[in-house]
Chain A
């Protein structure tokens, strides 16, 4: 019994699903941000799996996943900065209370 490409793809799909569920249901904005990170990680697993088992397997998949990790790190930094600025103005981190544009 060996591990095939499909196993990795299914693992990544389920991880993406968990992240999507959390991003849709959680109220704490920091947790929502981390569910988005989970989804990005699922995409990285796909990239590295295709770098090993893909039809045109080469090192490019790993290089691309490094770029994704970099952009995700920048995204978390900017996201947390926005959250802190929002918290200063609204004194809450619950995403359903950020509804100024809905009122």
Chain B
């Protein structure tokens, strides 16, 4: 029982609890809180994997920005914030079967594959520097294309969400 194992176990429990609560809660705002908790626990998993920069980005982008965006989306669409379920048990059982089969397939193939026993050891203090070096030398063209993509998404979402012109 190493500390890493205990941390992984606790974080995995937190991730599953958040995700499962999200599926079974009735209030949509509570759903957003529990999924934000899941995103935060995933950031802990990244710290465990020595990816500190990705963990911080996860906290900023997912637990911060995307959760707030979700609350905005809920407030702008429905005010009662409740999800009433129509009974569709056949549909749910079929979806459950598909998901269980899919997870079973993944578990079967992951267990059977020869992964070896490597572990890259990243310097704890150099993670951001290493990412910066890779991003601005080898991946500089994808990086610049990403900025174009973000600009297009920004302009596109403003145009989509804007009130349509009444005079037409």
Task: Pick from A34, A52, A65, A96: contact of B35, CB below 8 A.
Answer: A34
Per DSSP, are chain B's interface residues mostly helix, strand or loop, or mixed?
helix
- Docked Cα-Cα span, A70 to B130, in Å, equals 19
- B45 with A24: CB separation less than 8 A: no
User: Shortest distance in angstroms between B23's beta carbon and chain A's nearest beta carbon?
Assistant: 5
Instruction: Assess whether B161 is in contact with A1, with CB atoms less than 8 Å apart.
Output: no
How distant is the Cα of A78 from the Cα of B122 in the complex, in angstroms? 36
Assess whether B62 is in contact with A69, with CB atoms less than 8 Å apart.
yes
Residues of B within 8 A of A37 (CB): 35, 62, 66
Q: For residue A101, which residues in chain B have a CB less than 8 angstroms away from its CB?
A: none
Given A2-B4, A21-B99, A63-B139, decide whether A77 and B154 contact each other with a Cβ distance below 8 A.
yes
B54–A48 contact, CB under 8 A? yes
* Known contacts A69-B58, A70-B149, A77-B157; A13/B2 CB under 8 A: no
Q: Is B110 an interface position by the 8 A CB rule?
A: yes
Residues of A in contact, count (CB < 8 Å)? 72
For the complex of A and B, list the 8 residue pairs with the smallest distance between their C-beta atoms, beginning with the closest: A57-B120, A81-B157, A74-B153, A24-B95, A81-B160, A81-B161, A13-B106, A17-B103
Q: How far is the CB of A53 from chain B (nearest CB, A)?
A: 6
Q: Name A11-33 residues within 8 Å CB distance of B.
A: 11, 13-22, 24-28, 30-31, 33
Interface residues of B in 65-115 (CB under 8 A from A): 65-66, 69-70, 72-74, 76-78, 83, 85-86, 88, 91-92, 95-96, 98-100, 102-103, 106-107, 110-111, 115
Q: Chain B interface: which size bin?
A: 35 or more
CB distance from B61 to the nearest CB of A (A): 5
Check B157–A53 contact: CB distance below 8 A. no
Residues B38 and A52 in contact, CB atoms below 8 Å apart: no
User: In whole Å, how far is B17's beta carbon from the nearest beta carbon of chain A?
Assistant: 11
Q: Is the CB of B161 within 8 A of A85?
A: yes
- Shortest B116–chain A CB gap in Å is 6
B-side contacts of A44, CB under 8 Å? 42, 54, 58
Sample of 16 A–B contacts (CB below 8 Å)? A15-B16, A15-B19, A17-B100, A20-B102, A21-B23, A25-B95, A38-B19, A38-B22, A41-B38, A62-B53, A67-B142, A69-B54, A73-B66, A74-B153, A88-B163, A96-B86
Docked CA distance A35–B34 (Å)? 12
| Least CB distance, B161 to chain A, in whole angstroms | 4
Task: Give the residue of B1, B5, B42 whose beta carbon is less than 8 angstroms from that of A45.
Answer: B42
Is B158's beta carbon under 8 Å from chain A?
A: yes
